[in-house]
């Protein structure tokens, strides 16, 4: 009887070890790249060729396939990283910093998305407005894009907070305006933000300078004035899971930094939303991003 029990325990242990090894092997064979989006089908099409190319370059580490996982929001991405379901995730640096703080991941590289290495955000008003700086927005309403947008919300909002502007969320642009604070609303889209400012639905708007220039004609730009310019931060960043070994991280970094040097790599980068290259994040930039960490986590916790 004891012998049967011993054999049962041995078989059970063998099954558990086999399942564990199979799981680890499957994880090693897949390189999972993630991002945050409310358009998962579109983003998978954009990210998949990049993930597959990177996986091919890492075949020496047993990687056989590149896949893509799209998170709904910051907290969803945090869960995916904590559960070991994401190896790399690519997003704006402030969003990445929030996820890294919660999930233990870390910044690995800067992405030159659409050929842009870094950007700054601006706050703007209609040209005829009496508002000349962000302090003049007391009792007024500013439009941001969406809660997890670095350029259209987090960066300009944190910069405004550093300048002493007290912001309070309003359900809609038609809500009662606060008397001693600056109200804010989300428009869901940069073009909406500009239109709301031009039509007087809100008093000010915020987005990246590049986006403002892209969406408006020269005549529209003449109808707007900029009252705040933020510091420059990387256009996009790559973060790596804490579960990945250091040799594997080093190999990924090497392949990312070399992609623009090969014909195949350049073609993949170009199809990846016009990415020019990946490179290192400077210490100066890391210091700036770290400076934003505490107020950023307060905002992420709030939303």
Task: Give the tens place of pLDDT for each residue, 224-279.
Answer: 999 999 999 999 999 999 999 999 999 999 999 999 999 999 999 999 999 999 99
Backbone angles phi, psi at 189, to 5 degrees: -165, 140
Compute the distance between CA of residue 97 and CA of residue 93 in angstroms, rounded to an integer: 6
pLDDT at residue 20 in the model: 39
- Going by pLDDT thresholds of 50, 70 and 90, the confidence category of residue 219 is low
- How distant, in Å, are the alpha carbons of 27, 58, 66, 165 from that of 62? 10, 7, 12, 52
Domain parsing of the chain, residue ranges: 24-116+234-302, 121-230
Query: Given a cut of 90, is residue 216 above it in pLDDT?
Result: no
> Tokens in use for 75?
């907290």
Q: How confident is the model at residue 24 (pLDDT cuts 50, 70, 90)?
A: very low
- The residue assigned the tokens 């992609």 is 259
CATH superfamily of 121-230: Periplasmic binding protein-like II (3.40.190.10)
pTM: 0.79
* Residue 136: DSSP 8-state: G
Structure tokens at 220: 């529209």
Confidence of residue 175 (pLDDT cuts 50, 70, 90): confident
Q: Sorting pLDDT into bands at 50, 70 and 90, what band is 9?
A: very low
Phi, psi of 131 (to 5 degrees): -75, 120
| 14 or 125, higher pLDDT | 125
pLDDT tens-digit series, residues 25-42: 334 589 999 999 989 999
Topology classification of domain 24-116+234-302: D-Maltodextrin-Binding Protein; domain 2 (3.40.190)
Q: Which residue has the tokens 């955000």?
A: 121
Q: Cα 144 to the chain's mean position, in Å?
A: 16
Q: Dig out the tokens for 271 from the structure.
A: 């199809």
- Residue 275: both structure tokens together: 């990415």
191 closest CA partner among 152, 235, 233 = 152
Q: What pLDDT score does 145 carry? A: 95
86 pLDDT higher than 70: yes
Average pLDDT, the chain: 88
């Amino acid at each position: 009887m004891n012998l049967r029990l011993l054999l049962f325990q041995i078989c059970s242990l063998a099954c558990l070890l086999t399942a564990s090894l199979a799981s680890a092997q499957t994880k090693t064979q897949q390189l999972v790249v993630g991002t945050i989006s409310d358009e998962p089908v579109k983003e998978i099409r954009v990210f998949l060729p990049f993930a597959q190319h990177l996986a091919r370059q890492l075949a020496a580490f047993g990687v056989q396939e590149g896949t893509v996982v799209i998170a709904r929001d910051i907290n969803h991405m945090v869960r995916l990283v904590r559960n070991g379901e994401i190896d790399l995730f690519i997003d704006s640096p402030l969003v990445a910093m929030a996820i890294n703080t919660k999930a233990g991941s870390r910044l690995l590289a800067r992405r030159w998305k659409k050929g842009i290495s870094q950007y700054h955000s601006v706050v703007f008003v209609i040209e005829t407005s009496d508002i000349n700086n962000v302090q003049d927005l007391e009792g007024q309403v500013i439009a941001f894009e969406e809660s997890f947008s670095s350029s259209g919300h987090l960066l300009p909002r944190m910069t405004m907070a550093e300048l002493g502007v007290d912001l309070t969320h309003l359900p809609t642009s038609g809500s009662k305006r606060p008397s001693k604070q600056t109200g804010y609303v989300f428009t869901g889209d940069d073009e909406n933000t500009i239109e709301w400012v031009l039509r007087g639905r809100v008093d000010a708007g915020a987005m990246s300078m590049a986006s403002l220039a892209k969406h408006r004609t020269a005549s529209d730009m003449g109808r707007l004035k900029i009252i705040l310019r933020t510091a420059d931060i990387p256009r996009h960043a790559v973060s790596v899971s804490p579960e990945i070994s250091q040799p594997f991280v080093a190999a990924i970094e090497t392949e990312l930094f070399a992609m623009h040097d090969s014909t195949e790599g350049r073609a993949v980068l170009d199809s990846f939303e016009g990415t020019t290259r990946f490179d290192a994040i400077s210490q100066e930039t890391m210091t700036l991003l770290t400076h934003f960490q505490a107020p950023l986590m307060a905002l992420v916790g709030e939303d």
